[in-house]
Amino acid sequence: MSDLNLYEETAREAAIAYGNKSLIDYSSIGESDDEVWNRRNLLPQKPRKVPKGIYFLTAGSQEDIKTLISPWPEKEDPFTQSDLLDSEEDMAQEIIYRIKTTLSVPYRERLANRLLTLVNDAKEEDPSSPGITVGSLRSFYNFFQSHPNLKYPAISLMPEDNIYASWRSEQNRLFSVHFLPNGDTRFVIFKPNERHPDKQMRISGIATTDILMETVTPYGVWDWISE
Amino acid sequence: MKGDKIPNQHHITRYCQPKYILDGQIQPGAFKLRAGEESLSVNWLEFLNCSSRESEIAEIQNIYSTKLNVGGRAKIAVLNVGEVRQKVLTESPDGRNLEVIHDSSTDDPSHSGIYNLKQDDELIAELILETVHEAYSART
């Protein structure tokens, strides 16, 4: 079978993998404003108050990994679209800061800098854009936190400002992952057909971030994307 | 004429925003539909009736500058219609038959569209990317 489409099968798995767990992380409570990262002063810093409430992360639940928390600024005025965008920007900024400081990969600073470049690229053409979708960033963080031995990928955005990461290697091998905001990923694999070297296998599918790598393991992806 | 299929031997350009560029190289996101889009916007080069590729690109840069907020690192990808269609037809899992159709507007007479794409076509975006052999800066 040279071409295989995994959509139906993995969609079924995805439904199972979601579960209904909520992850709670208290790690940002009490963080002072001075500690909030300032994206190397590329964007104006706004004073924020950290609310006392607890924040829940519901998508892409994974055990035994560090989880994210992104406090919403306390609002006294009616909530507007502009406020929402500002809050998403703050959350995106905080997740990129966590990638830069806490991710267990040797290239975390390079990764964060690339994401900042993409935020600025997105905003250069559309100043109203939050830069990178917060849910996509969260999935991206969780994926690398779960798989710290991955090689550094090529990172770009999709039209909806979700993260798209690709690992290419010689012999026409490709593994690309689109990190969707809801914790799903859509992936693409190109690889040589070992029995028919003149042909290529092309596979695409969908899986939650937490089961992505086990889903693609049968295709030998680890061989060219991990250190 | 609007609605005409663009011949396979002709060429089209796609505007690639900076968020689709890495180290000067175009990335697959440039060839993916946005939510709500029916077709991928392109421009028909031969329609411009220019004498060289250089003058075609200059004309396209001019069009983009009037319609878009062109980013500093944005690129123009040049695609051959027949090559894109053949690549996707023969290598996509569902044998997708793309159509490239002239879709002119008053402010952009060479405007055209690649039809029969879907929102979740990352694989096809990767295939289209493999047919890009020429790229130029989108800014003059």
B5: left (phi over 0), alpha (psi -120 to 50) or beta: beta
CB A198 within 8 A of CB A4: no
Q: Kindly tell me the sign of the dihedral angle through the C-alpha atoms of B112, B117, B121, B127.
A: negative
Q: Is residue B4 classed exposed, middle or buried when 0-12, 13-18 and 19+ CB atoms within 10 A define those classes? A: middle
Helix or strand holding residue A214 (H, E)? helix A212-216
Span A117-134, pLDDT tens digits:
999 999 888 888 879 999
Q: What are phi and psi of A146, to 5 degrees?
A: -80, -25
Q: Cα(B59)–Cα(B52) distance, rounded to whole angstroms?
A: 11
Task: Calculate helix-pair angle for A134-146, A81-102, nearest 10 degrees.
Answer: 20
Q: Which two three-digit tokens encode residue A185?
A: 């990923």
Q: Select from B18, B94, B122 the Cβ nearest to the Cβ of A121.
A: B18
Domain housing A174? 3-225
Q: Does residue A77 carry a pLDDT above 90?
A: no
* Contact (CB<8Å) B34/A157: no
pLDDT score at A171: 77
Q: Do B69 and A126 touch (CB under 8 A)?
A: yes
Amino acid at site B140: T
pTM: 0.78
pLDDT tens, position by position, A8-46: 444 333 333 333 333 333 333 333 333 334 444 344 344
Yes or no: say if A71 and A28 are a contact pair by the CB < 8 Å rule: yes
Give percent of chain A with pLDDT exceeding 90.
52
Report the C-alpha gap between A171 and B105 in whole angstroms. 43
Q: In chain A, positions 111-150, which contact chain B (CB-CB < 8 Å)?
A: 118, 121-122, 124-126
Cβ–Cβ gap A124/B72 under 8 Å: yes
Q: Whole-angstrom Cα distance, residue B64 to residue B72? A: 13
The domain ranges of chain B are 11-137
Q: Can you give the pLDDT at residue A11?
A: 39
Report the domain count for chain A: 1
Write the ipTM.
0.95
For residues A37 and A35, give the distance between their C-alpha atoms in angstroms, rounded to a whole number.
6
Q: Which pLDDT score is estimated for A80? A: 64
Q: Do A125 and B91 touch (CB under 8 A)?
A: no
Give the B-side interface with A, CB within 8 Å.
17-22, 27-29, 32-35, 68-69, 71-74, 91-94, 120, 122-123, 126
Please list the alpha-helical segments (H only) found in chain B: 53-67, 81-91, 122-129
| Per-residue pLDDT at A81 | 60
- pLDDT, tens digit, 9 for 90 and up, residues B58-79: 999 999 999 998 988 999 999 9
Which residues, given as ranges, of chain B have pLDDT below 50?
none
Tokens of A64: 């035994």
Among A179, A171, A174, residue whose Cα is nearest residue A143 = A179
Nearest residue to A68 (alpha-carbon basis) of A52, A81, A55: A55
